[in-house]
């Protein structure tokens, strides 16, 4: 039975096309014949990549049937809004024109289906997919969709050829700031195609690759902070999606300590690196690192300022889905409200 809504905002739900033809319908030649939706390549879950019970009776992969998703997830848990992050995997392609075409096709598809035909109640909010290989084209794609009422952020993969604080990416940040759209960074193409693997070489197993995905996020965050991106673009907001959270306090302690001795190297910073987080950075909760004792999780949340920067996410329909009922044990009421609802409502203006 559907439960009473608690105002939850789920900040990481993945919608999938029923088949590749849905995306190819929005591609022109020569991209249509080249597109095969091959995904991210060889680092795939060796058992299954999605919850087995998320596959709809109508057929297709999990996350491809909006009615089934509503019943199994939205109505069951009392979700007010799902922030949709499609998985185009366009950021692994060496041809920036092909990558940009795939991103544009996914945006057309999402706008025509999940954000309109399937969205009579406005529960679905979308992410504008961009190919960061061509920052100018990415900025144009942001401009194209910025006025759409249900696109609430921009998204790209963490897999890249350079840390995201570097200046070649500035056109993307300028567009995000201009149109008031946060930039979400999601793992998935690290070490794929043209992108650099954040570990020293390529892992042997999926479990290694998946565990170390947070390393790319840490490198990008340090780059944003030390390159002075938030001083140059004071209105920019960054959302780190599906990269874990427990690493944040120790990383910021280390970076702040380095800054004490090396601040002359980054004179554009006006304060300690960690002090930029509350205004400019948000993290989503899944995959939530869970220590054996819940009290240590609560201490970690306090150390990372979760009250102001953490937002709930489930990662539906993937295998490591986090249930809203089980993800956070024994949270104080006010902290629960901020993580599950208020922080996301403020960021996305919901």
Mean per-residue pLDDT over the chain, rounded? 94
- Please tell me the total number of residues recorded for the chain in this structure: 350
What percent of the chain has pLDDT above 90?
Answer: 84
If you search the block for the tokens 């995306």, which residue do you land on? 23
CB neighbourhood size of 320 (10 A): 15
| Residue 130 CB contacts under 8 Å (≥ 6 apart), including other chains | 103, 138, 141, 142, 154, 155, 156, 172
Predicted local confidence at residue 52, as pLDDT:
75
At 283 the three-state DSSP class reads: strand
Band (40; pLDDT cuts 50, 70, 90): low
Band (74; pLDDT cuts 50, 70, 90): very high
* Beta bridge partners of residue 9, listed in sequence order: 81
Quote the CA–CA distance of 350 and 345 in Å, as a whole number.
Answer: 5
β-pairing, 151-157 with 310-311? unpaired
Predicted local confidence at residue 37, as pLDDT:
75
| Residue 90 CB contacts under 8 Å (≥ 6 apart), including other chains | 99, 100, 102, 103, 106, 129, 131
What is the pTM (predicted TM-score) of this model? 0.95
* Domain extents in the chain: 8-37+47-348
* Beta bridge partners of residue 151, listed in sequence order: 126
Cβ atoms of residues 154 and 183 within 8 Å: yes
Cβ atoms of residues 8 and 340 within 8 Å: yes
Pull the structure tokens for residue 138.
């990415």
Predicted local confidence at residue 6, as pLDDT:
59
pLDDT at residue 310 tops 50: yes
Query: Which position has the higher pLDDT, 23 or 294?
Result: 23
The vertex-33 CA angle with 31 and 38, nearest 5°, equals: 85
Band (41; pLDDT cuts 50, 70, 90): low
Q: In the predicted model, what is the mean pLDDT of residues 229-238?
A: 98
Predicted local confidence at residue 43, as pLDDT:
80
Rg for the chain, CA atoms, rounded:
19
Cβ atoms of residues 119 and 149 within 8 Å: no
Pull the structure tokens for residue 67.
């009615």
Predicted local confidence at residue 188, as pLDDT:
84
Q: In the predicted model, what is the mean pLDDT of residues 119-129?
A: 97
List, for residues 153-202, the tens digit of each pLDDT value: 999 999 999 999 999 999 999 999 999 999 999 998 999 999 999 999 99
Give 171's Cβ-side CA count (13 Å radius): 15
Quote the CA–CA distance of 64 and 55 in Å, as a whole number.
Answer: 8
Q: Helix 135-145 to helix 96-112 angle, to the nearest 10 degrees? A: 10
Predicted local confidence at residue 134, as pLDDT:
98
Predicted local confidence at residue 137, as pLDDT:
98
Quote the CA–CA distance of 42 and 126 in Å, as a whole number.
Answer: 28
Q: Where are the alpha helices (DSSP H) in the chain?
A: 20-24, 31-34, 66-69, 75-77, 96-112, 135-145, 170-179, 206-211, 213-226, 229-232, 248-262, 277-280, 294-303, 306-309, 333-337, 343-348
Query: Which position has the higher pLDDT, 3 or 229?
Result: 229
At 84 the three-state DSSP class reads: strand
Structure letter (DSSP) for residue 302: H
CATH homologous superfamily for the domain 8-37+47-348: Metal-dependent hydrolases (3.20.20.140)
Q: Which residues of 81-106 are buried (b: 16+ CB within 10 A; e: fewer)?
A: bbbbbbbbbbbbbeebebbbbbbbbb
Predicted local confidence at residue 5, as pLDDT:
46
Most confident of 57-61, 269-273, 319-323: 269-273
């Amino acid at each position: 039975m559907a439960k009473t809504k608690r105002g939850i905002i789920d900040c990481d739900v993945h919608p999938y096309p029923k088949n590749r033809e849905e995306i190819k319908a929005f591609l022109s030649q020569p991209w249509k014949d080249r597109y095969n939706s091959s995904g991210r390549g060889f680092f795939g879950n060796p058992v299954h990549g999605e919850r087995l019970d998320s596959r709809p009776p109508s057929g297709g992969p999990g996350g491809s049937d909006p009615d089934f998703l509503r019943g199994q997830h939205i109505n069951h848990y009392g979700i007010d809004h799902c922030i949709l992050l499609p998985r185009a995997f366009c950021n692994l392609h060496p041809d920036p024109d092909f990558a940009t075409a795939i991103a544009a096709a996914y945006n057309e598809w999402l706008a025509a289906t999940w954000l309109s035909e399937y969205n009579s109640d406005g529960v679905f909010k979308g992410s504008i997919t961009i190919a960061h290989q061509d920052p100018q084209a990415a900025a144009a794609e942001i401009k194209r969709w910025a006025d759409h009422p249900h696109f609430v952020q921009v998204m790209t993969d963490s897999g890249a050829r350079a840390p995201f604080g570097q200046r070649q990416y500035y056109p993307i940040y300028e567009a995000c700031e201009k149109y008031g759209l946060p930039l979400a960074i999601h793992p998935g193409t690290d070490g794929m195609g043209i992108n650099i693997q954040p570990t020293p070489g390529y892992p042997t197993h999926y479990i290694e690759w998946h565990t170390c995905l947070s390393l790319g996020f840490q490198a990008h965050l340090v780059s944003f902070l030390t390159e002075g991106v938030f001083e140059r673009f004071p209105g920019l907001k960054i959302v780190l999606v599906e990269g874990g959270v427990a690493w944040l306090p120790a990383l910021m302690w280390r970076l702040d300590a380095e800054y004490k001795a090396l601040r002359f190297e980054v004179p554009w910073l006006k304060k300690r690196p960690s002090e930029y987080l509350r205004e400019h950075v948000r993290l989503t909760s899944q995959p939530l690192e869970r220590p054996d004792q819940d009290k240590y999780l609560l201490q970690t949340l306090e150390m990372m300022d979760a009250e102001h920067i953490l937002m709930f996410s489930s990662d539906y329909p993937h295998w490591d889905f986090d249930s809203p009922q089980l993800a956070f044990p024994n949270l104080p009421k006010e902290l629960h409200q901020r993580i599950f609802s208020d922080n996301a409502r403020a960021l996305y203006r919901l």
